Amino acid sequence: MDVGNTGEHEADEVVHRRHGTASRPVRELKGFERVSLAAGETRTVQFTLGPAELRYWNAAARDWVNDASTFDVWAGGDSTAELSATFEVTGP
């Protein structure tokens, strides 16, 4: 993505969206599972993110929208989690 300043003065810009037809939060809670782990224990946790979890209200379209897009997923104890993965939605 190219970001440019067409004005006459220096300016800052914040860029955070990947794709979509409307502005969205940088991170949204869409699924979770709480697990208790003993010291040194590791466990695999899985859950499904389906169309209902990936859609959002688009005020311009006045409808729920599922964009074909790249989604980032973070896992961790709070909103600053750094463990991440990416997946692609290619169609409705």
Q: pLDDT tens across 45-70, in order? A: 877 888 888 888 888 889 998 888 88
b/e string for 12-36 if b means 16 or more Cβ within 10 A?
A: eeeeeeeeeeeebeeeeeeeeeeee
Rg of the chain taking only CA atoms, in angstroms: 17
Q: pLDDT tens across 1-40, in order? A: 465 677 788 766 554 445 556 677 777 887 777 778 888 8
pTM for the full model?
0.58
Q: Does domain 25-92 have CATH number 2.40.10.120?
A: no
Three-state SS sequence of 2-34: CCCCCCCCCCCCCCCCCCCCCCCCCCCCCCCCC
